[in-house]
Amino acid sequence: PQTIYRKDYTPPAYLVDTVELGFDLDPETTIVASRLTMRRNPDSTEAGIELYGQNLKLVALRMNGATLREGDYRISSNVLRISKAPDQVTLEIETLTSPAQNTTLNGLYVSNGNFFTQCEAEGFRCITYFPDRPDVMAKYTVMLRADKQKYPVLLSNGNLVEAGDLPDGRHYAKWEDPFKKPSYLFALVAARLVCQEETFKLMDGRDALLQVWVEDGNLDKTDYAMQSLKNSIRWDEERFGLELDLDRFMIVAVSDFNMGAMENKGLNIFNTKFVLANSRVATDVDYAGIEAVVGHEYFHNWTGNRVTCRDWFQLSLKEGLTVFRDQEFSADMIGTDSGRAVTRIEQVRTLRQAQFPEDAGPMAHPVRPDSFVEINNFYTVTVYEKGAEVVRMYQTLLGRDGFRKGMDLYFKRHDEQAVECDDFRAAMADANGRDLAQFERWYSQAGTPVLTASGKYDARWLTFELTLSQSCPATPGQPDKLPFHIPVAVGLLGADGKDLPLTVGGKQHGGTAVLELTEASQVFRFTGVKEEPTPSILRDFSAPVVLNYPYTDDELLHLFSHDSDPVNRWEAGQRLAMERLLKLTAASAHGSKQELDDTFIEAMRKILVDESLDAAFRENALLLPSETMVAEQMEVVDPQAIHRARQFMRRVIGERLRADLHAQYDANLTPGDYSPDAISAGKRGLKNIALAYLSAAPDEHSDALARRQFDEAGNMTDRVAALVSLIHSESAGAALALEKFYDEFDNEALVIDKWFAMQAAAPGTDVAMVRSLMRHPAFTLKNPNRARSLLFNFANGNPAQFHAPDGSGYAYWAEQVMALDKLNPQVAARLARSMDRWRRYSPALQAQMKTALQKVAGAPKLSNDVTEVITKALS
Ligand code: B3K
Ligand code: ZN
C-alpha cells in the first residue's frame, strides 16, 4: 500500500461546475450515468483529467460528445486519466455497480433490502468515476429511478423538483441541491420507509420541512431525534447566528452503518442507534448520544459542508470544530453550571480512556496528520476529540465573544470554500488581534503534553510562585517537540475551601486565572496571597495534557471537598482513587494483602451523601478510573491484577457504605413517567451506581434489589443497570434474567446489541463464552453494530479476559480481524486497533500478541485499512 503525504498536495487540474447523475437502481446491477461539466483549473499546472473509480464497470465514456476509446484514456490502480483534454469539457460516463454484493457499507449498498450510500471519505468513487476529492465542489442534480413497490421512497440531497411514474412499475424522483458540495457529501436513499415530519420556523421566518425516516414499526421511536433536531437548529441560530440554508432537512435511519452518522447535505444518514429511542428500548446514555449526534451532523451543515476541507489531512477542521459545537450544544441543553461540568467530566474521561492511549501508541498522529495509507483509519479520537479540545482552547484563550468573532470571520472569509486548519486559526487570530502562531503546534505535533507544576508559598511576601514546565513524549516520526501554547486555568483555595482572590503579574482575576504557558518552563507569581493556598490547576480541564503536581492526600481531600471548579473537584477524587488502585494492583500482583484506608472511604461517603450536589456529579465522583486508565499508568500492565484491585475496591466501598448506598438508592428513585432530562438521568445514574456498589459486595438484600429492579423497572436504563448488576455479581438469577431480556426484545435489534454487549464485558465471560455467543442465531459479523456489541466490547471492555495468559483472546482477535476484513475493512481496522498497546504488557503476553499480529499481517489479500494498523503496531 501507498502512503499519501500532506506535503504532496496539489490543486486539481480540472474543476467541476455541475454534476448530473442518473441512477437506475437495481440490487444486482445499478446503472449510473453521470454528466460533468468541467473546466481547467487556473491554479493548477497539471495537464490531464484525473478521475477516481473503484469496483466499477465502465460502459461508456464520452468527452464533448465524442466517444473515448482505450488509448484516449487509461485506467490504472483506480485512476482514470485523460491526458489530453480541452479547457472546457463535458464528460459523460456510464458505469455499473452491484450494491447487493457490497458488504463494505462504503459507496452504494443494500441494507434490509433498501439502498443507501456512504461517501465520506472516498466512497463516491465506488459509485462513479469522479475527481473524488473534497476540494472539487460542484452543484448536483440527481435523477433516481427504481421499482415503485419495493422502493416507494426516493431521496437525495437538496430539494425534490420532480417525481412521477415510469413504465414497468418503476417511478422516478429528481433532486436538486442548490449548494456546491464536495462529492463526499452526496447521498441517496431508495427504500421502503415511513417518516415523522414537521414544519419548523427558522430565524428569518422561513419554514423548513423536517423529516425523520425509519422502517415501518419504528415511528414510535423518532420523537427524541426530531426534538433534538429542532433544538439543534435553534441553538445554532442563537449561539452562532447560523441558519439552516435549505427548505428541507432529512434524517434517515439505517441499521447497517459503519459509523454513527453522516452529514450529507440535507440528507443525513444515521446509524439506527443514534435515531431510535423510547423509554422501553433506550437508556439515558442512548438518549444523550442521539442528542449529541443529531446536533453534530446538523452543525456540520456549516462547519464541514458550507465550509469544507481542502484535503483529508484537514479532517479535524470540520470534525474537531463540530465535536466542540456538539459538546457545547449538549452542555447548553442542560443549562446549569453543574450540568455543564458533568458533560465536561465525561469528555475528560473519553480523552483519558481513548485519546491519551492513542497518542501514546503506534498510531499516534497529530490532529492534522502528515501522512496516511487509508484515510478511514484517521477518523480517530485524536482528530475528533483532541481536535475539539484544540478548538475549545481558542475559546478559553479568547473568551466566548472572541471565539464568536473568530467564527464570524471564518464564515465571512471561507463560505463555500475548501480550506485548511490554518485558515481557521488565522480567522481566530485576526478577528481578535492575537498572535496564534505558536498555537499551530497543537495541529502539527502528536503526543500528549506533560505539564509539571510545583508551588512555593512565601509567608513574608504573601506570594505564591507556581512553576509550570512542559514536555511532550516522542511519537512515531516526531522524536523532538517544541513547547505548546497552553492555557492553564488556575485557582487557589484557602484553608476554608474558598477561592482566594487572585493577582498575578499585577493583573486581578476572579477566582480563576487563565495562565498562558508558552515556554518550556515559566514561573507565575501570585501576589497578595494571605495564606498558604492549595492550588487547583487545569480547571475545567483547560488543555488536553497530563498534569503532574506533587499533591499530598490532604490537599487532594481538601480539593475533593471544596474546589469551586467541579471538574477539578472530581479530578481530586480520581487522583485519590488512582493512587490507591495502583498500590492495590501492585499488592495483588505480589499476592500481598489488599487494604483500603478509611480516609478514602470517608471521602467517598461524604460525596455520596452530600445532597447539595447534583446526583449526576455524585455519580461521576463515585465512578472509579477504568481498568484501561489504570493500565495506562503502569510501566508493565498486569490486566488481571488491575481487575482484582478494582474489584476489591468496589467491594470494600460496597461493604463499608452499604447503609448509605441503600439510602441513596431509595432517595433517587424516579417514579412516574420516564423523562431523559439531565436531572432525572442523574438520579438514575446515582441510584444505579449505588446498586452496582451494593452488588459488588453482594448479599441477599442487594440481590433482591437488583432482581426487583430488573422485574419492575419502567425504562431501559434501569433494566440494563439491574441486569448488569446481576451478571457481574454472578447472581443465581442472572441466567434467567438474560433469557427473559432476550425474549422480550428479540425483535429490537438495538436491544439485542445490548444483550451481547453486557455479556461480552462481564468479568465472567471468557473467550470460550464469546465464541459460543458468536454461534447464537442472532449473531452476525455483517452488521457492524452487532459485531461491535460482542467483539469490541470483549476486546476493549473486558481486559482481564481478553488478555488471558494463554493467549486465547489474541488468537480469537486475529481470527475475527481476518474474518471481518473480508466483509468490511473499515470495521476490521477498528478491531485491529485493540492491539495498539501490546508493547506495554509482560514479555510473555507480548510474545503472544506479536504472534497474533503477525498472523494477521501474513493473511492473504489484507485490506489497506488493516495493513496500515497492523504494520504500524509491529513497527
Ligand atoms: N463525517 C462522518 C464520518 C465519516 C466516516 C468515514 N469513514 C460522521 C461525522 O463525523 O459526523
Ligand atoms: Zn463529524
Rounded to the nearest angstrom, the distance between the alpha carbon of 117 and the centre of ligand 2 is 16
In this prediction, residue 161 carries a pLDDT of 98
Per-residue pLDDT reduced to its tens digit, 81-97: 999 999 999 999 999 99
Question: Are 622 and 496 members of one domain?
Answer: no
In a domain, 407, yes or no: yes
In a domain, 295, yes or no: no
The residue out of 133, 164, 192 marking a domain boundary is: 192
Helix axes 734-744, 749-760, angle to 10 degrees: 160
CA 709 to chain CA mean position, Å? 31
Ligand nearest to the CA of 784: 1
Question: Are 379 and 497 members of one domain?
Answer: no
3-state helix, strand, coil in the chain (%, to 5): 45, 20, 30
| Ligand 1 close to Cβ of residue 379 (< 6 A) | yes
Per-residue pLDDT reduced to its tens digit, 813-862: 999 999 999 999 999 999 999 999 999 999 999 999 999 999 999 999 99
Question: Are 15 and 51 members of one domain?
Answer: yes
Question: Are 52 and 115 members of one domain?
Answer: yes
Rounded to the nearest angstrom, the distance between the alpha carbon of 791 and the centre of ligand 1 is 22
Widest pairwise Cα distance in the chain: 94
Rounded to an integer, what distance in angstroms lies between the CA atom of residue 398 and that of residue 400?
7
| Residue 282 pLDDT class (50, 70, 90 cuts) | very high
Question: Are 392 and 539 members of one domain?
Answer: no
| Ligand 1 close to Cβ of residue 781 (< 6 A) | no
Average pLDDT over residues 745-756: 98
Rounded to the nearest angstrom, the distance between the alpha carbon of 261 and the centre of ligand 1 is 7
In a domain, 229, yes or no: no
Rounded to the nearest angstrom, the distance between the alpha carbon of 578 and the centre of ligand 2 is 33
| Ligand 1 close to Cβ of residue 719 (< 6 A) | no
* Amino acid letter for position 684: R
Write the residue with the smallest CA distance to atom 9 of ligand 1. 262
Average pLDDT over residues 205-209: 98
| Residue 773 pLDDT class (50, 70, 90 cuts) | very high
Question: Are 28 and 127 members of one domain?
Answer: yes
| Ligand 1 close to Cβ of residue 315 (< 6 A) | no
Write the residue with the smallest CA distance to atom 10 of ligand 1. 319
Rounded to the nearest angstrom, the distance between the alpha carbon of 311 and the centre of ligand 1 is 15
DSSP H/E element including 271: strand 267-271
Rounded to the nearest angstrom, the distance between the alpha carbon of 605 and the centre of ligand 2 is 40
Per-residue pLDDT reduced to its tens digit, 518-548: 999 999 999 999 999 999 999 999 999 999 9
| Ligand 1 close to Cβ of residue 122 (< 6 A) | no
Write the residue with the smallest CA distance to atom 3 of ligand 1. 262
In a domain, 280, yes or no: no
The residue out of 543, 575, 610 marking a domain boundary is: 543
Rounded to an integer, what distance in angstroms lies between the CA atom of residue 77 and that of residue 75?
7
For residue 261, give the ligand 1 atom closest to its CA.
8
Write the residue with the smallest CA distance to atom 2 of ligand 1. 262
SS (H, E, C) 568-630: HHHHHHHHHHHHHHHHHHHHHHCCCCCCCCHHHHHHHHHHHHCCCCCHHHHHHHHCCCCHHHH
| Ligand 1 close to Cβ of residue 121 (< 6 A) | yes
For residue 300, give the ligand 1 atom closest to its CA.
11
DSSP H/E element including 810: helix 808-823
Rounded to an integer, what distance in angstroms lies between the CA atom of residue 108 and that of residue 97?
8
Rounded to the nearest angstrom, the distance between the alpha carbon of 273 and the centre of ligand 2 is 16
DSSP H helical ranges for 626-715: 627-632, 639-656, 658-667, 678-696, 700-712
What does the mean pLDDT of the chain come to? 98
| Ligand 1 close to Cβ of residue 814 (< 6 A) | no
* Contact between 27 and 100 (Cβ < 8 Å): yes
Mutate to test the pocket of ligand 1, among 119, 263, 325 (most ligand atoms within 8 A of CB): 263
Rounded to the nearest angstrom, the distance between the alpha carbon of 264 and the centre of ligand 1 is 10
Ligand nearest to the CA of 318: 2
In this prediction, residue 481 carries a pLDDT of 98
Whole-model pTM: value is 0.99
User: How many domains does the chain contain in total?
Assistant: 5
* Cis peptide upstream of residue 138 (ω within 30 degrees of 0): no
In a domain, 97, yes or no: yes
In this prediction, residue 856 carries a pLDDT of 98
DSSP H/E element including 200: strand 194-201
Average pLDDT over residues 424-438: 99
| Residue 555 pLDDT class (50, 70, 90 cuts) | very high
| Ligand 1 close to Cβ of residue 319 (< 6 A) | yes
Mutate to test the pocket of ligand 1, among 318, 379, 380, 381 (most ligand atoms within 8 A of CB): 379
Question: Are 19 and 53 members of one domain?
Answer: yes
| Ligand 1 close to Cβ of residue 259 (< 6 A) | yes
Q: Which residues contact 426 (CB under 8 A, 6 or more apart)?
A: none
Per-residue pLDDT reduced to its tens digit, 443-457: 999 999 999 999 999
Question: Are 411 and 458 members of one domain?
Answer: no
Question: Are 474 and 592 members of one domain?
Answer: no
For residue 384, give the ligand 1 atom closest to its CA.
10
DSSP H/E element including 486: strand 486-493
Question: Are 437 and 463 members of one domain?
Answer: no
| Ligand 1 close to Cβ of residue 263 (< 6 A) | yes
**Which CATH number do you get for residue 862?**
1.25.50.10
Q: Which residues contact 196 (CB under 8 A, 6 or more apart)?
A: 211, 212, 214, 219, 222, 223, 226
**Which CATH number do you get for residue 457?**
2.60.40.1840
* Contact between 621 and 607 (Cβ < 8 Å): yes
The three-class DSSP label of residue 194 is: strand
| Residue 153 pLDDT class (50, 70, 90 cuts) | very high
The residue out of 519, 543, 567 marking a domain boundary is: 543
ipTM surpasses 0.90: yes
| Residue 742 pLDDT class (50, 70, 90 cuts) | very high
| Residue 752 pLDDT class (50, 70, 90 cuts) | very high
Average pLDDT over residues 717-744: 98
| Residue 609 pLDDT class (50, 70, 90 cuts) | very high
Write the residue with the smallest CA distance to atom 5 of ligand 1. 120
Question: Are 497 and 559 members of one domain?
Answer: no
In a domain, 439, yes or no: yes
Average pLDDT over residues 491-510: 96
Question: Are 92 and 160 members of one domain?
Answer: yes
Q: Residue 528 sits in which domain range? A: 451-543
| Ligand 1 close to Cβ of residue 279 (< 6 A) | no
Rounded to an integer, what distance in angstroms lies between the CA atom of residue 175 and that of residue 162?
7
Ligand nearest to the CA of 323: 2
| Ligand 1 close to Cβ of residue 326 (< 6 A) | no
* Positions marked active-site: 297
In a domain, 217, yes or no: no
